[in-house]
Amino acid sequence: MMLTMSPRDTTLLAWCVVGSIAAHVLLLTVLPGLQKTVEPPAPLVVELVKPPDVELPKPLPVEKKPPPPEPVKAKPEPQKPAPREDRPVKTPRPILTAPPDVPAAAPVIPVAPPVPEQKPAPQQQAEVKPSPPAPPAPVTPPRSDAAHLSNPPPVYPMAAQRRGDRGTVLLRLIVTADGLAKNVEVEKSSGYRALDDSAVTAVRNWRFVPARQGGQAIDWPYTQSIVFKPPE
């Protein structure tokens, strides 16, 4: 049975051999003087020492990788039927017959209609609202009792006095801008014709202070009352 030696054991054995040889050489040089007293050296015994058992490291367990998942097989899409190509239906061509010789008509040249002239749009003027009219100036009514007019009173008829006729006549008239009476009429009678006529005759000859508006004389309607009363 052969023994397997490690490099360490081989080195140790070599050193032992070298040491043995060195010892023999030393003995051979010293032996002549020591033959009588020195006994021959004991034979060198070389023992082969079995190296200690070295436990080799256990190999690491190899983790088993789980097998890769099987790829999901895609379901094949149903193939769509190819669209049917509609073949054109051949229509019978009309038979062309040569027309009789007709003189060619003159080509018609289209005439474009005239473009109307575009007039510029009138500028819109800003609307100016008229200002409201000013309120009319107040009117000063006419007067017949002014002292400088010196208007005579109406005549009181003698027959009416003897009969005791009395009353008030209300006259309606227009006082002109010149201060004259115009369109004198009886608005309310006294009840006696003689008294009414006397009042109208007198007022037609009177002078008046005309009405004024804004400092200007104007025609203005006026009412004049005449009272007839016999003396007591």
Is the pLDDT at 77 greater than 70? The verdict is: no
Q: Is 217 exposed, middle or buried (0-12, 13-18, 19+ CB in 10 A)?
A: middle
pLDDT at residue 97, rounded to an integer: 42
pLDDT tens, position by position, 161-180: 999 999 999 999 999 999 99
Is the pLDDT at 135 greater than 80? The verdict is: yes
Closest CA to 47 of 105, 5, 85: 5
pLDDT at residue 120, rounded to an integer: 64
Pairwise CA distance, residues 31 & 23, whole Å:
11
- Dihedral (C-alpha) 125, 130, 131, 135: value to the nearest 10 degrees? 170
User: Between the CA of residue 102 and those of 94, 95, 97, 109, what are the distances in Å?
Assistant: 22, 20, 14, 20
Which residues, at least 6 apart from 149, have a Cβ–Cβ distance to it below 8 Å? 206, 207, 208, 209
Ordered structural domains, the chain, with CATH: 1-51 (no CATH), 140-228 (3.30.2420.10)
Q: What is the mean pLDDT of residues 210-229?
A: 94
- DSSP secondary structure, 185-199, as one string: EEEE--S-HHHHHHH
Q: How many whole angstroms from its chain centre is CA 228?
A: 87
pLDDT confidence band for 109 (50 / 70 / 90): low
pTM value?
0.43
Pairwise CA distance, residues 112 & 110, whole Å:
6
β-pairing verdict for 211-213 and 139-140 = antiparallel
